[in-house]
Amino acid sequence: MNIRARAPLRISFAGGGTDVPPFPEREGGLVLNATIDRYAYGLLRPRRDRQVRIESADLKLSVNYQVDDAPIFDGRLDLVKAAIRRLGDPGAPGYDIFLQSNAPPGSGLGSSSTVMVTLIGLLKEHHNLALTDYEVASLSHHIERIDMGMLGGMQDQYAATFGGFNFIEFGADRVIVNPLRVSADVVNELEHNMLLCYTGRTRRSDGVIEDQTARYEGGDTGTMAALRNQKELAVDMKNALVRRRPDEFGALLHQAWTQKRRMSPKIATDFIDEAYAAARRAGALGGKVTGAGGGGYMLFYCEFRRKHRVAEVLTKMGGEVTEFAFAAQGLTTWSMPHD
């Protein structure tokens, strides 16, 4: 049987950065996010020989090796190799794995971690592993951040696994995902009034997370205050959602961006600042960069009657504007007959 999997990408509203060590261990992190109708997809097709073949449509890379060979970490699909090393069975036959995402790495929508969650879903089903959602998310995080030493937070793996609107608490030794019961009217209103703008620039190794972490560990008062304010805003924005106050939520989004910018000077770029100011002039109540910063997607909440003007202004500046819908389901796997 062919095994298929998909997991949704996410947008983060507030609290991003408080899920990046050492902040959760020292002060506890709080993040408010939601998954959207953009996905990472995966296919696992069993083979009769001992070959493992991995192909990534996003990175335009493929690698082949024997099941019982130790994977070589050479910069070519190393994350996938690390997951197979941790979950694979050297005594079993091989398989082909194909991965594809709706957003490029560094987009700010959590695409790299969402691909990892999708991959764990494929391997879990293939090897008949009894893993809970918490275990899938934790394992995905461990492979990325611990095994492979990739800097970043914890929210993406949990958002992709659980799906929907979530208020997530990060502590020294545990994570608690609190699913939010957001009314259908409020979800519709958010979709009605929000848009995404791709800046055309992906965030790679520009040092945003390193700089933010160094400033926090060094006791930078601005960074420390901004991170703590992010936690408060995550609570306020969660309350606005569940109390059916979407316009208040939109205004708080502006405050969240104001605080996020204080966490590191690398978060905003000239284009991001100019696009944000132009969107506000055109009628956006609030907005923010959806990931660590430095590029990727920006999210805006607009007065609906002025939303088209915001889109026009951002498009003229070179942004790629799209609408989106929220996705209630997290990681999903299914099987189909071998083709």
**3-state secondary structure at position 4:** strand
The number of angstroms, rounded, from the C-alpha of 329 to the middle of its chain's C-alpha atoms is 15
**Cα distance between residue 219 and residue 339, in whole Å:** 58
Q: Which residues contact 294 (CB under 8 A, 6 or more apart)?
A: 201, 203, 206, 208, 266, 267, 269
b/e burial code for range 54-72 (CB count within 10 A of at least 16 → b): bbbebeeeebebebeeebe
Query: Cβ–Cβ contacts within 10 Å for residue 35, how many?
Result: 27
Q: Please, how many CA atoms are within 13 Å of residue 286, restricted to the half-sphere of its CB?
A: 20
Give catalytic status of residue 156 as yes or no.
yes
Asked if residue 154 lies in contact with residue 320, where contact means CB atoms within 8 angstroms, the answer is no
Tokens of 21: 């060590």
Q: Which residues contact 34 (CB under 8 A, 6 or more apart)?
A: 10, 11, 13, 159, 164, 165, 166, 326
The DSSP letter of residue 147 is: I
Asked if residue 162 lies in contact with residue 180, where contact means CB atoms within 8 angstroms, the answer is no
Tell me which residue of 34, 72, 28 sits closest to 54, measured CA to CA: 72
Indicate which residue of 156, 173, 220, 236 is catalytic: 156
**Cα distance between residue 29 and residue 295, in whole Å:** 23
Active site residues: 156
